[in-house]
Amino acid sequence: MPTAVLWFATDAFVDSDLQREERVNENIGGAALAHWLSDQLRVAGFAAGDPFAEDHGWDFEIKTANGTYLIVCTIEDVSDEERQACVQINVGKAGRAPLEPDDAILERVTTLLEGQGAIIDPQ
């Protein structure tokens, strides 16, 4: 499954009390990021679904003619002063080549995150 992983530190995207209650893993957030990102992608014309909780954070899908993308959003508190965020983009279509830098969804997600002040660390 082709994957792109975007890491960044953030002070934004703090889960609400209700979102914290819905977490599968109480130590891993990402709901606020997943909801914001899916909303922004819908505005941009992508068929983004609603986020749902997983043990690794919050996921949502985007259906395209090229396959289904699974967007995984995770935020962990590294320390009292630092929160590390990760957005992982997976494409689940057999035989598809790895994500290219000009992949429309990868490009849009990167632009949206950078617009929020994220400095992407492509680890």
> In sequence order, what DSSP letters do the residues of 41-89 get, joined into one string?
HHHTT--B---EEETTEEEEEEEETTEEEEEEEEEEE-SSS-EEEEEEE
Is residue 106 scored above 90 in pLDDT?
no
Would you kindly state where each structural domain of the chain is located, as residue ranges?
Answer: 3-115
Percent of the chain beyond pLDDT 90? 33
Of 89, 105, 117, 115, which Cα lies nearest the Cα of 42?
105
Quickly tell me which residue has 């919050």 as its tokens. 58
Position 122 scores a pLDDT of: 58
Q: What is the pLDDT of residue 26?
A: 80
Q: Quick one: CA torsion of 110, 115, 119, 123, rounded to 10 degrees?
A: -10
Mean pLDDT of 52-70: 89
pLDDT, averaged across the chain: 84
Nearest 10 degrees: CA dihedral of 28, 58, 118, 79? Answer: 0
Q: Quote the pTM value.
A: 0.85
Q: 94 pLDDT band (50/70/90 cuts)?
A: very low
Report, as an integer, the average pLDDT of 46-51: 95
